Amino acid sequence: MTPATESVSFDDARYQQFLAALLEGDRQQARAAFEGWLHEDRPIRWLYQDILQRALYEVGARWESGSISVATEHLATAIVDSLLNLVYPRLFRRPSTGRSVVVTCSVNEHHQIGAKMVADIFEMHGWRSYFLGANIPLEDLLKLINEKKPTAAAFSLTLYFNIDALIGALTRVRESHPTLPLLVGGQAFLWGGQARITGIPGVLMPAKLEDLEAWIDAHCR
């Protein structure tokens, strides 16, 4: 996997150290490496996409290939989840655009970091994000959408075998909110599967965070 944001210098050795710390469950080491990048004032998108997302995709690939256990993958994910807290003091100080988004992981989906990063990207662009944690019941999601009347709703899917639950959720939201823009993404679509989603009217699938940002910018004009 190559880094996506080429404009920011990428130190592969440091990244490898960070990845090794995650795989060893060394929270302190991972935090120190991440704080180093924060002190260098690296862009949030770079931190999310070229460091955290990249590392998590790599951890996931190692789990799928059987070189690490589920427990190791869970621990690495938990460490990354806690690292996001270090970004928040920088993240939430953006002028508001008055727009909002509901971001969720859909039923059966326990992997929430991707969705949280998407919520944060919206915040970065001055949107108010309502982030629903992992495995939120569909009725709760619909209730929140009715209550908050967001500008858009975003869904994250990490494990492809949960796609039926996602399709069910998208269909229900589309029925009750025919014009609400629905955005879908996540690790599950790295190797295809988009066709099953794009059949639902008004569903967009930004492939990368840059594509998502381009959509956000276009929607703010």
Partner 1 sequence: MRTAGEAALTYLASGQALVLQLTPGFVIREVNSYACRRLGITPEDVQGKPFEELLVDFVSSGDLMSFVDHDGPPRLLSLCTANRVPESFFFKFYTIPDGVLALGNLDVDEQRRLRDEVLSLNSELNELTRKLHQANAELEQLNELKDRFLGMAAHDLRHPLGVLITYTELLLTESRERLTGEEVGFLQDCAEAARGMARMVDDFLDVSLISAGRFAIDPAPTSCEDLLAGAMVVVRVLSDRKQVRIHVDNHAGDRMVIMDAPKVQQVLVNLIANAVEYSRPGQEVHVELRAGGGNLEVFVRDEGPGINPEDKERLFTSFEKAGTRKTSGERSTGLGLAIARMVVETHGGHIWVDSTPGVGSTFAFTIPLEPEINIAK
Contact residues toward partner 1 (CB under 8 A) are 71, 74, 78, 81-82, 84-85, 88-89, 91-93, 96, 112, 116, 123, 129, 131, 133-134
Single-letter code of the amino acid located at 89: P
CB of 103 to partner 1, least distance (A): 11
Q: What's the number of CA atoms in the CB half-sphere (13 Å) around residue 188?
A: 27
CB of 151 to partner 1, least distance (A): 17
Nearer to partner 1, 5 or 162 (CB): 162
Q: How far is CA 8 from CA 31, 43, 50, 63, in A?
A: 20, 8, 10, 29
Give the whole-angstrom CA distance, residue 120 versus residue 135.
Answer: 19
CB of 3 to partner 1, least distance (A): 25
Nearer to partner 1, 70 or 218 (CB): 70
Name the residue among 88, 79, 85 with its Cα closest to residue 30.
Answer: 79
CB of 92 to partner 1, least distance (A): 3
CB of 19 to partner 1, least distance (A): 20
Single-letter code of the amino acid located at 35: E
Output DSSP code: residue 53.
I
Single-letter code of the amino acid located at 81: D
- Which residue has tokens 């256990």? 69
H-helix or E-strand spanning residue 129? strand 128-131
Nearer to partner 1, 14 or 110 (CB): 110
Nearer to partner 1, 93 or 221 (CB): 93
Nearer to partner 1, 19 or 79 (CB): 79
